[in-house]
Structure 1
Amino acid sequence: MKHQSKPIFIISRFLVFVLLFTHSTISVVKAQEVEDERDFDYVEGSKKGPAYWGEIKKEWAACKHGGMQSPIDLPGKSFQILPSLVELKRTYKPSNATLKNRGHDIKLEWAGNAGSIEISGIQYFLKQSHWHSPSEHSINGKRYDMELHMVYQSMDPKVESNTAVVGVLYQIGRPDAFLSKLARDIASMTDKKTERSIGVIDPAEIVELDGKNYYRYIGSLTIPPCTEGVIWIMSKQLGTVSREQIDLLRLSVYDYAEMNARPLQPLNRRMIRLYFQKPKIINYN
């Protein structure tokens, strides 16, 4: 599987970019992941690899110089425990969705209001999900087989962190039901930067987390421009995925992103909080 570069009409791309983003708020643009980029890759030793992301474009400087970068290793003991503080509130709505091969990953994007999560009284609305393999975050130094990112944004101009990401780690086991549903469409996009409408998708079908046991910290986007100030919520509950599903995700993207996990970043004394609820003890005597 090899991808051949095609001519790029820079002027046309620039005009489209201006038309799409002229009316967007500044805060949203700052936390926007790049789309359809070949200016970066994940190849070890490549001049476009993660070690050089911060040098490729001045807008990506945070990738090299930022002090709150993601992903990180989630330690087993050195975190602040907040027992029974708050259960993550989630509300989802079935909405039309588009599946897109961005070259560096497979993304599922919802149109309209597909639901939201509430963090500290602020609503963050679901925008898209995508997958990384192997996982980007680790726990006690262990990386898992896949990681799901659910990306949310708040349009409140007073919010300092306008982007939140819910992450779930997966290990090899039974097939993930949601990926099984998308398998045929993903397979049809192999090695092609393309997108297709796949109809109404209910985000609740994605097993994110139980909402009661999760890590939380402040980090960044894990691809350029590596914007910081992102609220990360990482589930302590592991999902399962089959080896065949991981192979499908890897074969569908381009060669430079078959293993699309950014290396771990320094914690730099950031606080990692663990939210959990103790199980109820029932006395039958």
Structure 2
Amino acid sequence: MIIIIKFCFFAMAILCVAPANAQTQGVVFGYGGKNGPNRWGHLNPHYTKCSVGKLQSPIDIQRRQTFYNRSLESLHRDYHTTNATLVNHVCNVAMFFGEGAGDVVIDNKNYSLMQMHWHTPSEHHLHGVQYAAELHMVHQAKDGSYAVVASLFKIGSEEPFLSQMKDKLVKLKEERRKGNQTAQVEVGKIDTRHIERKTRKYFRYVGSLTTPPCSENVSWTILGKVRSMSKEQVELLRSPLDTSYKNNSRPCQPLNGRRVEMFHELATEKQETSSKKKKPN
């Protein structure tokens, strides 16, 4: 698989959720200029969804367009210790997991954890605010469909998981300086269980890949709690990337009438308590 310096190819670009496709290999896309997001849909016939799709991601999650759904359940994630590899994919830094990394259950369907990667700044906005970074944890079901669990990060204290990866990220940066544009750093066994910490609030909607081919019907879960990472960590995530990909965020897309549903544990508890009080003796 050929990688050309300073450009992202479909097969090795973000690998956000899509597998390589021989028909789209060799088509470059970027985040500015002639190959920027507003041109993606015109770069290749297989990228048409990027321009004409009605279920595109990311979006700005606005209060007035968010609906509390009492039927949503607490997010169930079950991750395990597994082998991992840190990879410079030219336009993002990603971590790929071996088999048995765990899964997430959405609408009674299991999606296995495949990889995670970072965008700087965030792709999704929350109530009009764009944050310093966004983590995408990419899961795939046996039928090939995808579910992405996203976390937003503001500048603040160090993020524990990235703190564990500091030496590996520095090594990835050093490989970039040596001219190795697509370096891989073996991480070995890694424990991802702390990432599945209890989530009291999240947003759910149907969207798309945030990179070409912008395929739709991707289940998105955006965690409501904005976490923190240090400015140094943000720079470490950017450092292996070429200048044109350090800001690797697609602009927000129109909602086009979609419902953004919200789960909130505290609201659910209040409703349950209220229902119990109304029950006759």
- The question of a shared fold, defined as TM-score above 0.5 by the shorter chain, is answered with yes
Deviation at residue 196 of structure 1 after TM alignment: 2.3
Could you tell me which amino acid in structure 2 is paired with residue 155 of structure 1? K
| Greater CA drift, 30-39 or 47-56 | 30-39
Q: Contact 1:33 / 1:223 at 8 angstroms: preserved in 2? A: no
| Matched residue SS, 1:185 | helix
Verify the 8 A CA contact 2:81 2:189 in the aligned structure 1: yes
1:98 alignment partner, SS class? strand
8 Å contact 2:47–2:212 — kept in the other structure? yes
1:163 corresponds to: 146
* Distance apart, 1:31 and its partner CA: 5.1
Match of 2:259 in 1: 271
Q: Contact (CA 8 Å) 1:33, 1:224: kept in 2 or not?
A: no
Secondary structure of 2:35 counterpart:
coil
Q: CA deviation at 1:146?
A: 0.6
Q: Which runs of 5+ in 2 are unaligned?
A: 274-281
Aligned length: 252
AA at the equivalent of 1:219: G
CA 1:248–1:193: 2 relative to 1, 3 Å? same
C-alpha contact (below 8 Å) 1:30/1:227 kept by paired residues: no
Q: Partners in 2 of 1:182 and 1:255 — Cα distance?
A: 22
Deviation of residue 278 (structure 1)? Answer: 1.3
Q: From the superposition, tell whether residues 177 and 41 of structure 1 become closer, same or farther in structure 2 (CA, over 3 Å).
A: same
Q: Does structure 1 residue 67 correspond to structure 2 residue 50?
A: no
2:198 aligned to which of 195, 202, 210: 210
- Residues 226 and 123 of structure 1: is their aligned pair in 2 closer, same or farther, counting only changes over 3 Å? same
Q: Is the 8 A contact 1:75 1:139 kept in 2?
A: yes
The aligned amino acid for 1:254 is: D
1:193 corresponds, among 149, 169, 182, to 182
Asked whether the equivalents of residues 99 and 106 of structure 1 are also in contact (C-alpha less than 8 Å), the reply is yes
1:32 and 2:18 are equivalent in the alignment: yes
Deviations 1:13-64 (A, max 9, x none): 9xxx8xxxxxxxxxxx995166997811112xx1011111111111111111
214, 227, 232: which is aligned to 1:244?
Answer: 232
CA RMSD of aligned residues (A): 2.6
Over 3 Å counting, the alpha-carbon distance change for 1:5 and 1:101 in structure 2 is closer
In the other structure, the counterpart of 2:121 is: 134
- Residue 166 of structure 2 is matched in structure 1 by 183
Deviates more, 1:271-280 or 1:30-39: 30-39
Q: Is the 8 Å Cα contact of residues 97 and 201 (structure 1) preserved in structure 2?
A: yes
Aligned partner letter, 1:197: E
| Cα distance between partner residues in 2 of 1:276 and 1:34 | 37
Identity over aligned pairs, percent: 35
Amino acid of the structure 2 residue aligned with 1:223: T
Contact 2:80 2:191 in 1 (8 A): yes
**Contact (CA 8 Å) 2:172, 2:185: kept in 1 or not?**
no
Aligned-residue offset at 1:205: 3.2
Q: What is the match of residue 76 of structure 2?
A: 89
Aligned to 2:65, which of 78, 84, 88? 78
Q: CA distance change for structure 1 residues 34 and 104 in 2, over 3 Å: closer, same or farther?
A: farther
Kindly tell me: are residues 214 and 132 of structure 1, through their superposed partners in 2, closer, same or farther at Cα, counting changes over 3 Å?
Answer: same
SS at match of 1:184: helix
The answer for unaligned runs of 5 or more in structure 1 is: 7-12, 18-28
